[in-house]
Amino acid sequence: MKKSIFLFFFFVTQASHFSIAQLVQSVAAPTATYTNPLPVQFGDPYILHTKGMYYMYGTGGGADKGFSAYSSSDLVTWKSEGQVYFHDNKNGWSDPKANWGGAYWAPEVYEMKGKYYLFYSAQWKVNPTKEAENFRIGVAVADKPTGPFIDLTNKPIFDPGYPIIDANVFTDTNGKSYLYYSRCCYKHPVKSDVADLAKEKGWFNEIEESWVYGVELKPDFSGVVGEPVLLLRPPVSLSDKQAEWESRSVTAREVNRRWTEGSVMFKKDDTYYIMYSANHFGGQFYAIGYATAKSPLGPFKKAANNPVLQRNTDKGGSVTGTGHNSITYSPDGKEMFCVYHGRTAKTGDERVVFIDRMQAKNGQITISGPTTTPQKRPSSTTTAATNNR
């Protein structure tokens, strides 16, 4: 009898060990691939990598007049961290009752001296002329990537006298930081061959444009140094090779605007790259281009292989509206990724996040996307990567 009981417990114990071993093995061995789009409904996605973790921020994503975040250790599996910025913090300067629910757009977070700084766009409550688009850029600070973020002051970082969105910050090797942003199309009609063509064809009476500027930041991110410098704008002449792809929202008669927005700056091998998005963010032609320079404030030259990321529906795919990107690196720092939003036939008007491999070499960027088929997981070791390199 005792022998039978012993054998019973022996087999139960072995079976339990086997089950636990199987469970540990399944947890420890993630799938070898991932597939776009990721299950994150963000527009304008931005990823911060710090202390071995990735944090993603973006427009929308369920946040109520503010911003939410997701976290990941591998760029593939993401966990919601909830809302991390609220407009009604003690220094809030925005107007949540303004158009687009206050227009809380395009958050980006940067680590500096143990603090985390969130740059974002919103409608400014100081609006004596009742402008429909009164966007400005603010900066909030927190002790953790997950907030809560509190505005540095009760006003935007600066007021150039026109609406601005899409803040991006780059810190150079000499320690100087720069703010890049987009002047909005709002009340900014510009003369060009495309504007003349649109009027001649009876499409639109005028074409408004958004332009990208850069300006040095104060070391504590509390304001700017000097005057903004114009870096990028849509082509004036139709003979410019960039004109065709940057004007598609006009020539397709979607809207009377040409955009240069969603800029992101990085440096590699002594070359400064600035990526940007053109065309209507709500349309199918939203696409990404880039330009290069030898200094952080230019002059910049647009690349001959633009656009480097665009819709694939004309090639049998299902992705449109690819744009407003950021960049990040694999956990081992060896692979570079383009993080952007897009739409698919399945997601409809909802913007979702894509992460595809990219390269920047010899002054040229290439992006392997948009993809919706299984891709190899980002390479991973214990080596930490950084956002600015």
Q: Provide the pLDDT for residue 380.
A: 86
Q: What CATH class has 36-376?
A: mainly beta
Is pLDDT of 53 > 60?
yes
DSSP state, residue 234: -
Look at 29-38, 185-194, 369-378 and tell me which has the smallest mean pLDDT: 29-38
Mean pLDDT of the chain: 92
- Which residue type is seen at 286? Y
DSSP state, residue 205: S
- Which residue type is seen at 285? F
DSSP state, residue 52: T
Is pLDDT of 262 > 70?
yes
Domain ranges of the chain: 1-30, 36-376
Is pLDDT of 34 > 80?
yes
Categorize the per-residue pLDDT at 381 as very low, low, confident or very high, splitting at 50, 70 and 90: low
pLDDT in tens, 223-249: 999 999 999 999 999 999 999 999 999
What would the mean pLDDT of 360-366 be, rounded to a whole number?
A: 96
Is pLDDT of 2 > 80?
no
Look at 133-137, 311-315, 385-389 and tell me which has the smallest mean pLDDT: 385-389
Q: How many residues does the chain have?
A: 389
Q: Provide the pLDDT for residue 124.
A: 98
The per-residue DSSP string of 299-360 comes to --EE-TT--SB---GGGT--EEEEEEEEEEE-TTS--EEEEEEEEETTTTT--EEEEEEEEE
pLDDT in tens, 74-119: 999 999 999 999 999 999 999 999 999 999 999 999 999 999 999 9
- The whole model's pTM is what? 0.90
CA dihedral (197, 201, 202, 204) positive or negative: negative
Categorize the per-residue pLDDT at 179 as very low, low, confident or very high, splitting at 50, 70 and 90: very high
Angstrom distances, CA of residue 43 to CA of 4, 87, 230, 333: 64, 19, 25, 25
Look at 20-34, 180-194, 204-218 and tell me which has the smallest mean pLDDT: 20-34
Is pLDDT of 21 > 90?
no
| End-to-end C-alpha distance for the chain, whole angstroms | 71
Categorize the per-residue pLDDT at 29 as very low, low, confident or very high, splitting at 50, 70 and 90: low
Is pLDDT of 261 > 70?
yes
Query: Which has more confidence, 32 or 382?
Result: 32
pLDDT in tens, 322-359: 999 999 999 999 999 999 999 999 999 999 999 999 99
Q: Provide the pLDDT for residue 157.
A: 96
Q: Provide the pLDDT for residue 355.
A: 98
Give percent of the chain with pLDDT exceeding 90. Answer: 88
